[in-house]
Structures are given as structure tokens and as C-alpha cells.
Structure 1
Amino acid sequence: PVSYTKGGKVYSDVIRSLKDIEPDLLVFYNYPKQIRASIYSTNMIESFNNVIKRKAKPKAEFPTEQSLDAFIGIQAMSYNDRYFNRIHKGFGQVQDTLESYFD
């Protein structure tokens, strides 16, 4: 647990909000140390967003919202297929532990 003693009166609303979301905010600490950086990092999300931007740029404009949804869906499936067999840093070391979480 985090100590909230400093700034008690000045930041009481912020501290109350943090206390409410703390279990969800710090949930990655429940996982093995080898994979924590991968969990809280946004590198994979940013990488996917860059793929979408790069591939959507030549299209300039999508005629309907459905065509945009279909385009993004196809890109997501392609991205998943490309990286399906890739083991992200640290996950190979703790695969047994992670599988035990879902038994």
C-alpha cells in the first residue's frame, strides 16, 4: 500500500480518488517481476497505433464509419497474426506461473 500522509488536507479529494482505484491501478504488482514492465508499458499499443496511422494515411478518407471499422479490424487481425508466435520479454521465463493463474 502507498502512504498518503503527505498533503493530506490540500489534496484530500485526489487522495480519496487514488484510494478508491488503488487496487486496480497497481494490479500489475500481482504478476511476476519479469513481466511487469510489459504489462504497464504502452509500447505494444503505440506500435499498433503507428501501424494503423501508416496504413490509413494513403487512404485519406473513409466513405463510412463501417469501412473504417472494417479497415481497423483487418489491420488488428493482421497484426495479431504477425506476432502470434512471439513471446514477449520475460513471459517465457514465467509461462508456468501464468498458466497456473488460469487453472
Structure 2
Amino acid sequence: RNTTNYVSYKDLKKLMADLKMVYAAPDEAAALEELESFGKKWNSKYPKIYKSWSERWATLSTYFKYPNEVRKLIYTTNAIEGFNRQLRKVTKSKTVFPSDDSLLKMLYLATMDITKKWTGRRRDWSQIRAQLEIYFEERLEKAEF
């Protein structure tokens, strides 16, 4: 998300379409090629984006060790953004809290209310969970879904 902080609105859709070619690539080699073509196209106008991605490529490329289902779960942040929006909505009306504990209690109660409304299941969740169990077996043994 920080990639687009300084991108002009008129270029945003085109730039993000080109950047999506990088993280939607089938494997790391193809993604690196797409990053190079992204750099050739956008480096003259937004050099910081290509520089940032290429400098952090070792960290970003670990994303490609996971199967497509898990990758989509990683880059799809709508559920998280919706949850954060609902928490902001609760705290927005009250600007001052008497203590940190009062804020934590309010966020806890809001979280309980928000999670009561979560009734839907994610499409392909059983397939995603099976993949997660392969990669994170020791972590998932402790947690119950």
C-alpha cells in the first residue's frame, strides 16, 4: 500500500495494473522479469517504487514459495481493512479516553460485536487451510479454527 503514496491519481490504475503483474506472476523468476519491465516503464516517473521493490526483493520474494491460494489470501486485505474501519468508527466518536484500559476495553467489546456478525466462510477455505497446514504445521496444531 505504501507503494502508491506519491503516485498521481491519473497514473494510479495503470501503475497498479503493471505492479499486479509482478505479484500475480506464477513464480519468482517471472515476477522478477515483470519487476524489471515495471522498472523500465515507470522508473523515469516514479523511481522510488522500483528502487524500494528491488532493494527488498529478498524479503518480498518469499511470497512465491506459497501456492496460489495462499498467495491470494496474503494480498487480499479487504477483511482486515473492513475490521479496522469498524474499530475506527467506534473510537472516532469518543476522542478522549480516561485511561489506556478504557480504550482497550472499548476495543475489546467492539471486537466481540464485530465478530458476532462474521457468518460467511471464505471461498476455498478448506483448500487454503490444507496448504497452510503444510507450511505452518507446528503453529496450526496449537490453534483451533
Query: If the TM-score is normalised by the length of the shorter chain, which range does it land in?
Result: 0.5 to 0.7
Q: Which runs of 5+ in 2 are unaligned?
A: 1-31, 138-145
The one-letter code of the counterpart of 2:78 is N
Matched residues, number: 102
Q: Does 1:45 align with 2:80?
A: yes
* Length-normalised TM-score, structure 2: 0.48
User: What is the identity percentage for the equivalent residue pairs of Structure 1 and Structure 2?
Assistant: 25
**Counterpart-to-counterpart distance in 1, 2:88 and 2:47:** 41
CA contact (8 A) 1:48 1:79 kept: no
TM-score using structure 1 length: 0.61
Instruction: Please identify which structure carries the higher helix content.
Output: 2
Aligned to 2:123, what secondary structure does the other structure show? coil
- In structure 1, runs of 5+ residues without a counterpart are none
Query: Which of 1 and 2 has higher RCO (CA within 8 Å, sep 6+)?
Result: 1
Residue 24 of structure 1 corresponds to 59
C-alpha distance 58-19 of structure 1, shift in aligned 2 (>3 A): closer
What's the CA shift string for 1:41-95, capped at 9, x where partnerless? 221122112321343355454223332233224434x268547886423321232
> Does structure 1 retain, via aligned residues, the 8 Å contact 2:87–2:107?
yes
